Amino acid sequence: MKRYVILISGRGSNMESLLDAGLPGVCAAVISNRPDAAGLASAASRGIATVAIDHRGFAARSEFDAALAAEIERHAPALVLLAGFMRILGDDFVRRFEGRLLNIHPSLLPLFPGIKTHAQALAAGVRLHGCSVHFVTPALDGGPIIAQAAVPVQADDDVASLGRRVLAEEHLLYPRVARWFLEGRLHLVAGRAHLTGEIAVSGALHAPQTDQMRG
């Protein structure tokens, strides 16, 4: 059975959605760059090995990356999942795990890379917002997109309300993509995500709608 490692920095809600999904693999470890990350206690309560590597204890980013990579390799994972891991990883680290390093980002990439994505979406006035799962490359939030989920932006949305709806979709989408990878259906091929058995999606979501459109 394939092994996977999850990287977190905080409460770990996406980590919990992955662990609750009954994935066809074994979570070998949950690793955080913050010793006080709440997700570590949650993982430990499930009997999963946890490791904290405090990035503040390293003089250079490259030193932290090397220590993190060594710890990950110790668990021999087929897949590394970034689940709210709030550190930018260096090019050498990313290339070391190329093709088996995934991230979930709270926007419809390539829109709104980086942080505060819900505020960016509201400021831009978009009608649809959402989340994306992608292969990680040296370009920040710029790797090949695997899957996306969209939600309509409501007229009365604020950052909190929009964020809650997007997060609910993250909790559905990320385990689905992780399952594809662990089942051997998802690969990085010539710089693009290739999914065996993919079915074309038809139809469209219109936002906003009016009564006439529904009729």
Residues annotated as part of the active site = 105
List the strands of the sheet with 26-32, edge to edge. 50-52, 26-32, 3-8, 79-82, 101-105, 128-135, 145-152
**Cβ(132)–Cβ(113) under 8 Å?**
no
Of 84, 86, 89, 109, whose CA–CA distance to 167 is shortest?
84
What's the CA gap between 35 and 27, in Å, rounded? Answer: 19
Q: How many CB atoms within 10 Å of residue 53?
A: 18
